[in-house]
A and B are shown apart, each in its own frame.
Chain A
């Protein structure tokens, strides 16, 4: 497809920074609404034919992830320490057109009504900025449904689902052995396994192939185009309007503002490292919870000394990753979990927080086996099996196809001292300050993980595993879900954007991605990121038509 391209001297209606889960939706919707759009992406534009199953490059060395480009990201547990390059997991995301939606596992859980009003329902929590969202589930529901039908989400209703206005557009993916066993364990305990909603096509749709069950979703791009990433859903539709240019290999490092405090466009480095500008009537940031915060902080000026749109001081604060915990089990017969999508069944009986537990937290559980053979060989066997030698070699054969993981995906609390900040001592290859993650898990988050590992152990035992071992719960030091660093809110004193994703401080700057989250939800944020983006696009287009940007 030949895409529209805009010249350097042209002022477009919108420049969008980021082409991932949110950026793709915003580009599609704003271009479809008739606006001229340039969407900037710091990574390359890859296609299905570029994707492989190379575990060493993609899963072990994360070749398409930011850490391959910026290995010097720093970590610390409090602002009293200097940031250090450590073995911490850190802030992980893809740098390529389609963003992290290219390599996501495609779990597409909706939030529930409770997720938007939990501060009112639960009360305050010490050491946190726990707050209600400025919107409700009911307001977002039409946009969740829009995501289902626009990109293609497979699934079937479950007993704890929030209300939905339309059924799933695509039936569920095949149940895997892991799903059958999770159902078995849940039944034995009086719990309720349900179909996992996945952004993967179970049947051909809109010119795209159905899932071929190759088993390479998380960390991999889908060479069949069956995974509903931005790369094969919203971005082609945006380009097809003839009003949208996807500008790959273009690293935005500053949002420019004029004397009136309005955004005028962005400054970026092109593939050759040459500095260029793109002027726009309005700027939309959708660069993820790490990069959006960095860009706002890098865009400080005399008028915005603490960073653009940061009069609240909330930019970069409250980062949340979603805690996790899991139990492994070996079964008598082969499951062959290396085939198929990541998960086919989930258990949502423990979604709500319960004061009887003595701490705040809740989550969902799925059955999965995300280890490629290298990862499994290096550290996938139980701790009581030798780590080398003939018994080890035999155990790899006995365990690889027989093993499954019951994994919890959990709340993380918004803690003001958990931050993404600039680290001038560790510049990136362009010379701009690197990213520093400061993170210390809230005690309730840790308690939640410890509580859930007991639940997954019970489920694994009830499912009939012959060998059960828990993954040790270690302090969280990063992750792939980058949430909360430019939170929504009605009060400009403690939030960055309003309920329409407009920056409180800059009338023609909009921010919509994981950074907009007020609370973390239960583990699977991308569905909500995209629902927010569809809703934001509708309002942004409305403002633009009314000359209110």
Chain B
């Protein structure tokens, strides 16, 4: 049965993903393990990389890095913290784990220094922002920011970017293939220019 390019590609995407990861897992065990995220429990079940306290601090951190804007989902709603939880268990990110754990503990310590008892997540937004501004050049901030943003925009099979909503939010019309015109200016230039005769 002939397949159109797009249905063929949609089929290949699933089959290909499994094959690639099967090979990669020989060399890059973290990718193979992350692939576990495609199981049905990808977006449910308890966190096992982050402790409950770390989860609370990381959720508050992620919500400040990439907040919900104009009703669009933010990092937390997109599942970025679940992505981080999984990523921290993988050998590839092993070097980042102590930095991230220490940094999350430090956020809570700074919060307690302000109000005595409660952690970073319990602070009002303005006070969270004040703490983050103090540490935004730290290794923790850079590593944790990159992890959160990766969780927002990586392939949904890794546990974040739920339903590809991260892509939609920045204007990506996520499809396996496209046809010209692609954007405003080539559409305006018209079919003549689009074929190179301009």
Interchain nearest-CB distance for B44 vs A (Å): 21
Q: Mark A322-333, 1 if CB is under 8 A from B, else 0.
A: 000000000101
B-side binding surface: helix, strand, loop or mixed?
A: helix
Given contacts A55-B155, A215-B178, contact A388 B145 (CB under 8 A): yes
B5, B16, B166: the one within 8 Å of A209 (CB): B5
Q: Which residue of A lies closest to B65 (CB)?
A: A388
Q: Are A60 and B16 in contact (CB under 8 A)?
A: no
Q: Are B16 and A49 in contact (CB under 8 A)?
A: yes
A44, A63, A373: the one within 8 Å of B170 (CB): A373
Q: Are A213 and B145 in contact (CB under 8 A)?
A: no
A174, A338, A389: the one within 8 Å of B181 (CB): A174
Interface size on A, residues (CB 8 A): 62
Q: Mark A167-210, 1 if CB is under 8 A from B, else 0.
A: 00001101111011101000000000001000000000000010
A291 to B133, CA, bound (A): 46
Q: Are A52 and B17 in contact (CB under 8 A)?
A: yes
Q: Are B152 and A377 in contact (CB under 8 A)?
A: yes
Q: Which residues of A contact B132 (CB under 8 A)?
A: 388
The answer to whether the Cβ of B154 comes within 8 Å of any Cβ in the partner chain is yes
The answer to whether the Cβ of A390 comes within 8 Å of any Cβ in the partner chain is yes
Q: Are A52 and B16 in contact (CB under 8 A)?
A: yes
A396 to B72, CA, bound (A): 13
Q: Mark B182-193, 1 if CB is under 8 A from A, else 0.
A: 111110110001
Q: Are A213 and B182 in contact (CB under 8 A)?
A: yes
Q: Are A223 and B12 in contact (CB under 8 A)?
A: yes
Interchain nearest-CB distance for B71 vs A (Å): 12
8 A Cβ contacts from A378-399 to B? 378, 387-390, 392-394, 396-397
Q: Are A400 and B16 in contact (CB under 8 A)?
A: no
Q: Are B177 and A56 in contact (CB under 8 A)?
A: no
A50 to B196, CA, bound (A): 33
Q: Mark A297-319, 1 if CB is under 8 A from B, else 0.
A: 00000000000000000000000
Q: Which residue of B lies closest to A58 (CB)?
A: B20
Interchain nearest-CB distance for A391 vs B (Å): 9
- Identify which of B9, B16, B69, B183 gathers the most chain A CB atoms within 10 Å of its CB: B183
Interface size on B, residues (CB 8 A): 61
Q: Mark B146-158, 1 if CB is under 8 A from A, else 0.
A: 1001101111001
Q: Which residue of A lies closest to B21 (CB)?
A: A57
Q: Mark A127-159, 1 if CB is under 8 A from B, else 0.
A: 000000000000000000000000000001000
The answer to whether the Cβ of B115 comes within 8 Å of any Cβ in the partner chain is no
A50, A175, A209, A387: the one within 8 Å of B186 (CB): A175
Q: Are A175 and B194 in contact (CB under 8 A)?
A: yes
Interchain nearest-CB distance for A93 vs B (Å): 16
Q: Which residue of B lies closest to A375 (CB)?
A: B153
A-side binding surface: helix, strand, loop or mixed?
A: loop
B149, B176, B188: the one within 8 Å of A377 (CB): B149
Q: Are B176 and A214 in contact (CB under 8 A)?
A: yes
The answer to whether the Cβ of B109 comes within 8 Å of any Cβ in the partner chain is no
Q: Which residues of A contact B155 (CB under 8 A)?
A: 52-56
A482 to B1, CA, bound (A): 44
Interchain nearest-CB distance for A243 vs B (Å): 28
Q: Are B67 and A393 in contact (CB under 8 A)?
A: yes
Q: Are A400 and B172 in contact (CB under 8 A)?
A: yes
Q: Are A212 and B158 in contact (CB under 8 A)?
A: no
Interchain nearest-CB distance for B49 vs A (Å): 17
Q: Are A388 and B136 in contact (CB under 8 A)?
A: yes
A73 to B154, CA, bound (A): 27
Q: Are B186 and A176 in contact (CB under 8 A)?
A: yes
Q: Which residues of B contact A338 (CB under 8 A)?
A: 172
Q: Are A214 and B177 in contact (CB under 8 A)?
A: yes
The answer to whether the Cβ of A269 comes within 8 Å of any Cβ in the partner chain is no
B12, B154, B184, B196: the one within 8 Å of A171 (CB): B196
- 17 interchain pairs, CB-CB under 8 A: A49-B16, A52-B16, A52-B155, A57-B20, A68-B28, A156-B196, A175-B194, A177-B183, A195-B196, A212-B5, A213-B178, A223-B13, A336-B173, A388-B64, A397-B170, A397-B171, A400-B170
Q: Ordered nearest first, which 9 A-B pairs have the shortest CB separation?
A: A212-B177, A333-B184, A172-B196, A177-B183, A174-B180, A177-B185, A401-B171, A400-B170, A373-B153
B interface residues, Cβ below 8 angstroms from A: 5-6, 9, 12-13, 15-17, 19-20, 23-24, 27-28, 31, 64-67, 69-70, 72, 74, 92, 129, 132, 136, 145-146, 149-150, 152-155, 158, 166-167, 169-173, 176-186, 188-189, 193-196, 198
Given pairs A177-B184, A212-B6, A389-B129, 16 additional interface contacts (CB within 8 A) = A50-B19, A51-B16, A52-B20, A57-B24, A224-B177, A331-B185, A335-B182, A372-B153, A373-B166, A373-B170, A374-B149, A378-B150, A388-B136, A393-B72, A394-B70, A401-B171
